Amino acid sequence: MDKMIYTAMTGAKQTETAQAINSNNLANISTTGFRADLHAFSSVPVDGPGVESRVNAVVESYGTDMSQGAIVNTGRDLDVAIRGAGFIAVQAADGREAYTRAGNLRVEPGGLLSTGNGHLVLGDGGPLSLPPNNKLEIGRDGTISVQPLGSGPETLTIADRIRLVNPDVSRLQKGEDGLFYLPDDEVADPDAAVEITNGALENSNVNVAMTLVNMIELARQYEMQVNMIKASQENADAAAQMMRLG
């Protein structure tokens, strides 16, 4: 009887974890460049001395859905979207180099270029800084040209270039901040084949309909496992009563 209770209990606990992953995906349907997290259930024998008589239900994240989200035009000069494979190199809060698909850029008061979440965008020589200007243009290769203050509209100066990379996605690890990292603090080389579209953003790649269906299925699984625990208790009570009658 305790095997039944243990299996149902671990199943219910891991279903809660799966529901948390699914709910996080649903909460980020409007997050620019977001990549949905994937999960799967498996049965793992409990390690320890003696016979392997207990099996633990485990849910694990097995990566990230790297499919491209829909690209929508915004008309904003500082909005960029990567078409196809590739990432924008940024500086994470701890100073490490990280990668993102979020192209909702902005200029900080000191001239530094950052994403909408405040991560500094990297250029050829570190965090990308822009001089005071009347106008800026971002080319397909990430080159940023500006019209310096006091210059005419015909004057454009190259300020820097957004560092565009295309690392092996199978080696990328998603952090809690939503950014992607290479293992052991590796740094990806710039890739000239990566191109961006100016005045556009990439939406989240979360499939809303599928995520809602998963939420309902997980809720039903949790309810079934709780009912198994109740049934095992009823069976135990009935067995105890039969023993007393005997």
What's the mean pLDDT in 72-95? 94
The values of phi and psi at residue 69, to 5°, are: -85, 170
Q: Which long-range contacts (CB under 8 A, 24 or more apart) does 40-47 make?
A: 41/14
pLDDT digits (tens, 9 = 90+) for 172-215: 999 989 999 999 989 999 999 999 999 999 999 999 999 999 99
Task: Kindly report, residue by residue over 107-117, the tens digit of the pLDDT.
Answer: 998 899 999 99
Higher pLDDT, 244 or 203: 203
**Range of weakest confidence among 27-31, 218-222, 232-236:** 232-236
Domain residue extents for the chain: 2-65+206-245, 71-202
Q: pTM of the predicted model, to two decimals?
A: 0.81
Print the SS3 string covering 173-220. Answer: EECCCCCEECHHHCCCCECCCCCEEECEEECCCCCHHHHHHHHHHHHH
Instruction: Write down the pLDDT at residue 2.
Output: 64
State the average pLDDT over residues 128-136.
88
Q: Is 164 helix (H, G, I), strand (E, B) or coil?
A: strand
The secondary structure element, H or E, covering residue 89 is strand 87-91
Distance CA 90, CA 160 (A): 14
What was the pLDDT predicted at 53? 63
- How far apart are the C-alpha atoms of 101 and 35, rounded to whole Å? 9
The C-alpha atoms of residue 141 and residue 154 are separated, in whole angstroms, by 21
Confidence (pLDDT) at 147: 87
Token pair, residue 52, equals 């392997």
The CA-based angle 63-68-71, given to 5 degrees, is 145
